[in-house]
Amino acid sequence: MTAPDDGLRMMRVSASTRIAPRMQRLRLEGEALERFDTTANLHVRLHLPASPATAAVVTRYYTIRHIDTAAGWVDIDFVLHEAPGPGGDFARLAKVGDICGMSGPCGLGAKPAPFYLLAGDETALPAIARIAETLPVQARGKIILEIGGREDQIDFRHPAGIAVSWLYRGETAVEEQGLFTKNLAQALAEVESRRDSFVWIAGEYSAVMPLRTPLKRSHAKRSLCVPYWRAEGRFSQTSSVS
Ligand SMILES: Cc1cc2nc3c(=O)[nH]c(=O)nc-3n(C[C@H](O)[C@H](O)[C@H](O)COP(=O)(O)OP(=O)(O)OC[C@H]3O[C@@H](n4cnc5c(N)ncnc54)[C@H](O)[C@@H]3O)c2cc1C
What is the value of ipTM here, to two decimals?
Answer: 0.98
| Res 54: pLDDT | 84
Ligand 1, atom 32: nearest CA belongs to which residue? 85
| Res 26: pLDDT | 98
Whether residue 173 is predicted with pLDDT greater than 70 in this model: the reply is no
Whether residue 72 is predicted with pLDDT greater than 80 in this model: the reply is yes
Q: In the chain, what are the helix, strand and coil shares in percent, each to the nearest 5?
A: 25, 40, 35
Residue 198 has φ and ψ, to the nearest 5°, of -120, 130
Q: 181 versus 49: which is more confidently predicted? A: 49
**What percentage of the chain carries pLDDT values higher than 70?**
92
Query: What is the chain's length?
Result: 242
Whether residue 50 is predicted with pLDDT greater than 70 in this model: the reply is yes
Average pLDDT over residues 122-142: 97
Least confident range of 79-88, 94-103, 183-192, 223-232: 183-192
Ligand 1: lining residues by beta carbon, under 6 Å: 43, 60-63, 77-79, 81, 83, 85-88, 107, 123, 126, 228-234, 237, 240-241
Alpha-helical regions (H) of the chain: 86-93, 125-133, 179-191, 205-219
Which atom of ligand 1 is nearest the CA belonging to 106?
1
Whether residue 1 is predicted with pLDDT greater than 80 in this model: the reply is no
Which atom of ligand 1 is nearest the CA belonging to 63?
8
Average pLDDT over residues 25-50: 96
Q: 216 versus 58: which is more confidently predicted? A: 58
User: Sign of torsion, CA 99 238 135 178?
Assistant: negative
CATH class of 115-239: alpha beta
Average pLDDT over residues 149-165: 97
| Res 239: pLDDT | 45
Whether residue 77 is predicted with pLDDT greater than 50 in this model: the reply is yes
Least confident range of 24-28, 94-98, 179-183, 233-237: 233-237
Mutating to test ligand 1, I would choose from 89, 229, 230 the residue with most ligand atoms within 8 A of its C-beta, which is 229
| Res 183: pLDDT | 86
Ligand 1, atom 18: nearest CA belongs to which residue? 229
Pick the CATH number of 9-106 from 2.40.30.10, 2.10.10.90, 3.40.190.10, 2.40.10.220: 2.40.30.10
Exposure string for 133-144, b = 16+ CB within 10 A, e = fewer = eebeeebbbbbb
Q: 237 versus 61: which is more confidently predicted? A: 61
Q: For residues 147 and 72, what is the distance between their CA atoms, to the nearest angstrom?
A: 31
Phi-psi domain of 57 (left: phi exceeds 0; alpha: psi -120 through 50; beta: other): beta
Q: pLDDT per residue over 199-238, tens digit each?
A: 999 999 999 999 999 888 888 889 999 999 999 765 565 5
Residues with Cβ within 8 Å of 24's Cβ and at least 6 positions away in sequence, in order, are 16, 17, 18, 77, 78, 80, 91, 92, 94
Average pLDDT over residues 49-62: 92
Mutating to test ligand 1, I would choose from 228, 232, 239, 240 the residue with most ligand atoms within 8 A of its C-beta, which is 228
Q: How far is the CA of 195 from the centre of ligand 1 (A)?
A: 32
Whether residue 164 is predicted with pLDDT greater than 90 in this model: the reply is yes
Mutating to test ligand 1, I would choose from 66, 108, 121, 123 the residue with most ligand atoms within 8 A of its C-beta, which is 123
Q: For residues 149 and 172, what is the distance between their CA atoms, to the nearest angstrom?
A: 9
Average pLDDT over residues 49-78: 95
| Res 221: pLDDT | 85
Q: Which helix (H) or strand (E) holds 74?
A: strand 73-79
- Domain limits, the chain: 9-106, 115-239
